[in-house]
Amino acid sequence: MPSILFVCLGNICRSPLAEAALRAEAERLRLDLIVDSAGTGNWHAGEPPDPRAQATARRHGVDISGLRARQVTPADFRRFTHVIALDHDNLANLRRIMPDDATAELSLLLDHLPGREGQAVTDPYFGDDAGFEVTWSEVTAAAERLAERLRLTRD
């Protein structure tokens, strides 16, 4: 079964939104996936997503209030089939901590969205609520493409 780990810096904004978007799309497609998120930093470990991220997800019919931030571990590179970074800095950090026996495919989320390859998902943390909507739009579009790719791989 495909298993996807989304990774951003603190695991309270972008990666929980990406997790929520892919869970929703997988449910819509009746696709069995394991989906999780983590951060490369640990300062938010155990905390729920940013209230603005929760409000954005809620506006789109998804409840992320039960999620809790955690830090990515070397074991995640064996536990998940895909480890997906939300930006270049986190991708570089993941490459540094990835163990030699890693089995996960490593990529940027927007690499899965034609026309957006190599781009970072907008970080809304230091902005206003509108930035979270931009992030939701980006992660949702990429999650739809990723889920479709995983569905086709399964069939």
Active site residues: 8, 14, 123
Count of CB atoms within 10 A of residue 103's CB?
11
Distance in angstroms (rounded) separating the CA atoms of residues 138 and 117: 12
Distance in angstroms (rounded) separating the CA atoms of residues 65 and 32: 22
Distances in whole angstroms, Cα of residue 77 to Cα of each of 71, 81, 99: 13, 8, 7
